[in-house]
Structure 1
Amino acid sequence: METVRIRNPGMYWDIAANIHVPPAFDASKRYPAVISNHPIGSCKEQTAGNVYGEALARAGFVVIVPDASFQGASGGSPRWIEDPEQRVKDYRDVIDYAQALPYVDPERIGILGICGGGGYSVKATIIDKRIKALVTITGVNFGRLFREGFSAFDPVAALESMAAQRSAQIAGGDERVNNFLPASVEEGKAVGITDIDVLEATDYYRNRCVAEGSGTRMLVSHGAPAIAWDAFAFAETLLIQPMMVVVGDKPGGFGAYRDGLEIHGRAASTDKELVVVEGSSHYDLYDQPEPVGEALEKLIPFFEKHLG
């Protein structure tokens, strides 16, 4: 694995990314490539890299796993902005970089996204036809989630609060950073949290896969664009590439099961597959061997078919 810093023309900061290469890698050859995109609040060292990135590399793909702008080891200031349009731009900038690598075939580039990275990867595929195949793992439309659960189903009040916070900062007040998760599973239960997604996310980020670059937080004053954003807009006409949607059948508050069925139904692609991993939750598909293995058994042949 190699860590690189990506800055294309027109970029104002570096994107940090890990590149995973196949066994017996030969830089004189050209390989199919997959851009593997981490969840909201995550980083390149977690599931997008150490689970799916490594597995795809072992299967023969070059895999590039970027950190989101303003997060992890990537540049951008202020920190902890979660901007969907910037995320999609990041992915396209990484594709620019991948196309210039002498060992990547620019005609065989796919994209994979997990959780919010799945929704962002859908949008990137809608607008960028250099992407030849799409896989989402428990993908979430972050705009829909923010308008609903993340704003307590009152998005207008959330926008008003963000506007007030932005005004306060301009006047010299402190930044406010909201954490998506409690400090521990026990603390979450103590304050009455029962949702499987929130509790299992806390277990994943606090216990199972702790990483320095993982944020699980968001700068409040810059959150408004996410509320008015939709990962799936125009999918009925513009999402034409082959697509695989992987979800677990144990739904939680983040809504990946619902979003997965929606985008599978709406996409214009004539080659699309819905994989429901039975008995699995959103966060089982991050790192648990059996459900992850079932997902890989489907998605690796899918990418082999469409990327060669």
Structure 2
Amino acid sequence: MSTVENVGIPALAWELAADIYRPDDFDPSGVYPAIVATHPIGSCKEQTAGTVYGAALADQGYVVVAFDASFQGASGGEPRLVEDPTMRVKDISHVIDYLVTLPYVDADRIGALGVCGGGGYSINATMTDRRIKAVGSVTGVNFGRLMQESFSDYDPVAVLDAIAVQRTAEARGETRRVDDLLPASPQAASDDGVTEIDVVEATDYYKTDRGRQPGGATSALFSRQGTAVGWDAFGRAEVLLTRPIMVVVGDRPGAFGAYRDGLEIYRRAPAADKRLVVLEGFSHYDLYDLPEPTSKALAELVPFFGEHL
């Protein structure tokens, strides 16, 4: 089993709270490949990216860093509960800055892995931070596309207008608006007639003991969402996404669009080694923690990273 150490990683004017997963037989005098594990939107390092995929990859001989995003979880940054894609991508590079200072990490063998929104962020970071030698996306989502479509009711300009009004109000001292992205509980979802698979299963994961963690807020500060509305995880992919990439999705699509986004980035990536893994019979949230689909995902990811790291 892997061992875990909590550390603080310098970001801009604050630190990122991070867990370093190391192999059980870790030798500090050795040199290891490393992977940066990026959590989903509304999640934290103690959930799927760290405890499921990070721990499993550490068991395979990698040093893995799972971290809380800036403004979220136990990491620093104010105001709280900001989901800023540009900062999420910068956080990945800050973690790499830290990794390359560790004597037991091979700076030429660093990879990235992300789950849900973390998959989109990891792909985007790989386009511009060439220290990332290979990237894996598990049920990855392009958060910008989601904000421009269903999260804005397909009217992103109206949402930007509302964000502008709210941000001005908050700057003048009015109460901040924080939106919970999910129903309060599975029962609340049922009572409200919610049937969409991603929303139902997200509620089951985040709002029950199955996945609930103190740092997994599933909420966001509305006045700071403008950047996300104007962002695109896959912009310039045809030119810049040349690193090896593996995209893992389930074939039971939901409203958050991981299946669609996975097929899109697989098509657009110019990487010489690009692999699409479609796991039949599984949904977005099955790939967060259920033993069978996560084991199948790891059965593909482990040899993929092994070839390139």
Scaled by the length of structure 2, what TM-score is found? 0.98
Aligned to 2:100: 99
Aligned to 2:23: 22
- Matching of residues 66-85 of structure 1 within 5 Å: 66-85=67-86
CA distance in 2, matches of 1:146, 1:191: 23
- Matching of residues 120-269 of structure 1 within 5 Å: 120-207=121-208, 208-269=210-271
Shift of 1:192: 2.6
Scaled by the length of structure 1, what TM-score is found? 0.98
Tell me which amino acid in the other structure corresponds to 1:84.
Answer: P
CA distance in 1, matches of 2:144, 2:14: 25
Shift of 1:156: 1.0
Aligned to 1:2: 5
CA distance in 1, matches of 2:154, 2:188: 23
Shift of 1:103: 0.6
CA distance in 2, matches of 1:190, 1:211: 24
Aligned to 1:51: 52
CA distance in 2, matches of 1:211, 1:135: 24
CA distance in 1, matches of 2:81, 2:193: 27
Select between 207-216 and 129-138 the one with higher mean Cα deviation.
207-216
Q: Which of structure 1's runs of 4+ aligned residues deviate more than 6 A?
A: none
Shift of 1:29: 0.5
Shift of 1:170: 1.7
Aligned to 2:113: 112
CA distance in 1, matches of 2:214, 2:267: 37
Select between 167-176 and 126-135 the one with higher mean Cα deviation.
167-176
Equivalent pairs, count: 305
Aligned residue for 2:133, secondary structure, equals strand
Shift of 1:82: 0.3
CA distance in 2, matches of 1:66, 1:243: 21
Aligned residue for 2:287, secondary structure, equals helix
- Matching of residues 255-294 of structure 1 within 5 Å: 255-294=257-296
CA distance in 1, matches of 2:75, 2:173: 26
CA distance in 1, matches of 2:9, 2:291: 32
Provide Cα deviations, 1:185-227, integer angstroms capped at 9, x if missing partner: 2211222321100110000011111111111010011110000
* Residue 301 of structure 1 pairs with residue 303 of structure 2: yes
Shift of 1:247: 0.1
Shift of 1:157: 1.1
CA distance in 1, matches of 2:10, 2:37: 18
CA distance in 1, matches of 2:222, 2:307: 42
CA distance in 1, matches of 2:257, 2:153: 14
Aligned residue for 1:215, secondary structure, equals coil
Shift of 1:270: 1.1
Aligned to 2:40: 39
Provide Cα deviations, 1:221-260, integer angstroms capped at 9, x if missing partner: 1110000000000110110000000000000000000000
**What are the ranges of 5 or more consecutive residues in structure 1 without an aligned counterpart?**
none
CA RMSD of aligned residues (A): 0.7
Aligned residue for 1:100, secondary structure, equals coil
CA distance in 2, matches of 1:121, 1:77: 23
Aligned residue for 1:15, secondary structure, equals strand
Select between 25-34 and 169-178 the one with higher mean Cα deviation.
169-178
Tell me which amino acid in the other structure corresponds to 2:308.
Answer: H
Aligned residue for 1:157, secondary structure, equals helix
CA distance in 2, matches of 1:85, 1:162: 18
CA distance in 1, matches of 2:273, 2:85: 26
Tell me which amino acid in the other structure corresponds to 1:236.
Answer: E
Select between 165-174 and 96-105 the one with higher mean Cα deviation.
165-174
CA distance in 1, matches of 2:10, 2:229: 28
Provide Cα deviations, 1:259-288, integer angstroms capped at 9, x if missing partner: 000000000101000000100000000000
CA distance in 1, matches of 2:236, 2:169: 36
